[in-house]
Structure 1
Amino acid sequence: MKLLLLGATGATGQQVVGQALERGHHVTALVRTPEKISQGNERLTVMVGDVADEQEVAGAALGHDAVLSTLGSGKSLTSDIVGRAVDALIPAMHEAGVRRLIFLSAFGVGGTERQASPVQRFFYRTMLRKLYADKEQADRKLLASDLDVTLVYPVALTNRPLTGTYRVGDRFDFQGMPRISRADVAHFMLSELEHPAWSGRTAILTT
């Protein structure tokens, strides 16, 4: 497949790029800082652009089969990049004629907070409050659109290796601070792309 990836320079995005290429996909990475893409592959195209610019996203998405997003806020706890990107992404995908979207959110956003442990909930309501409010608005807009969207809600992310033994569900009762590797999150996103089972749904990921 031909995939457009937003957020390719982040830690999870780099996992998606590497695994997608290993699976034989063609990847277009829309980035602001192309020098952060160290991988070289004939099936990887790096485009410089702004994910919050509708016309640039539409141009990048044209001719692709699906869009994957691993957009994050970097080290910022107040960033609104996800919300601004979604405002551009929805009309851009319509313009480009692409419907399939697999979008990385975060456990604790929206209704998933009710499933969180007390420890998780403390962080979501304090340090991550503004960031998660932006993500929640973005997720609502995506689910209200007519795109074929899967929202991915992983628990706390680590840089541990791929295991392929994670759990996926729409309901968990957590204790403490469960974690999952970025490699496993990327694995799920690509597996969902190839064998859809969570279309129009929210998939919570944990080990």
Structure 2
Amino acid sequence: MNLLVLGGTGPTGRLVVGLALEHGDRVTVLVRDPARLGDLARRVTVRTGDATSPRDVTAATAGQDAVISALGTGKSLIPHGLAARAAAAVIAAAGENGVSRLVWLSAFGVGETVAQASGSQKLMFRTLLRSVYADKEIADARIRSSGLDWTVVHPTRLTDGPARGTYRAGERLPMKGNPTISRADVAAFLHRAVHDGEWIRRPAVISD
């Protein structure tokens, strides 16, 4: 598969790129600073550009079979409209180049998934993460209404632990406390989802 990865220099995106290469995908990564790819730069096609730029994303999407976005704001709680602007750029680029498959990393607590949250989760979503989640909600809504073969993935709180392979996945999951899931398991789900049809046009909540 010819696969474009957005957010490929981030902690989850790098894992997605590594998995894709291991499974024989031909990977293109759109990055602002190619140096941040390190050794991966020799194994992928590097496109320098901005994931919020329709022109840059359109150029990177040409010839691709699918797109995985693992974009995030890192530790910053100031979103600057990143998710919403990137979603608009990806949707336009996919339409321009005839790419229909999109797997998009969101977060648990965004949009309708907040109804499934525990009390402690809701408190965090409505205070500390309020601005970031508002931006993600706009992005998710744009993707769901895009007409693409989308999957929007909503992981619970991310950790840097190893992949367990025993995580739960569903459109709805019961929550207690503040559950977690490793970035490695999230990356595995993103990569698996782009290759099969189980989650096309469905949101996926995933958690340990």
**Structure 2 length-normalised TM:** 0.96
Amino acid at match of 2:186: V
Measure the CA separation in 1 of the matches of 2:172 and 2:86.
28
Measure the CA separation in 2 of the matches of 1:40 and 1:133.
33
Amino acid at match of 1:184: D
1:1-207 to 2 correspondences below 5 Å: 1-40=1-40, 43-79=43-79, 80-207=81-208
Gaps of 5+ in 1: none
Percent of matched pairs sharing the same residue: 49
Change in 2 beyond 3 A, CA 1:125/1:96: same
Point out 4+ residue stretches in structure 1 off by more than 2 angstroms.
Answer: 39-43
In the TM superposition, residue 136 of structure 1 has moved relative to its aligned partner by 0.4
Residues 144-191 of structure 1: CA deviation (Å, up to 9, x unaligned) = 111110000000001111121111101112111100000101101111
How many residue pairs match? The answer is 207
In the TM superposition, residue 40 of structure 1 has moved relative to its aligned partner by 3.5
**Corresponding residue SS for 2:185:** helix
Measure the CA separation in 2 of the matches of 1:11 and 1:164.
18
Measure the CA separation in 1 of the matches of 2:35 and 2:175.
39
**Corresponding residue SS for 1:12:** helix
In the TM superposition, residue 39 of structure 1 has moved relative to its aligned partner by 2.8
Measure the CA separation in 1 of the matches of 2:164 and 2:128.
30
Residues 25-62 of structure 1: CA deviation (Å, up to 9, x unaligned) = 11111011111102337651111101111111011000
Answer yes or no: is the 8 Å Cα contact 1:28–1:47 preserved in 2: yes
Answer yes or no: is the 8 Å Cα contact 1:26–1:43 preserved in 2: no
> For the aligned residues, what is the CA RMSD?
1.1
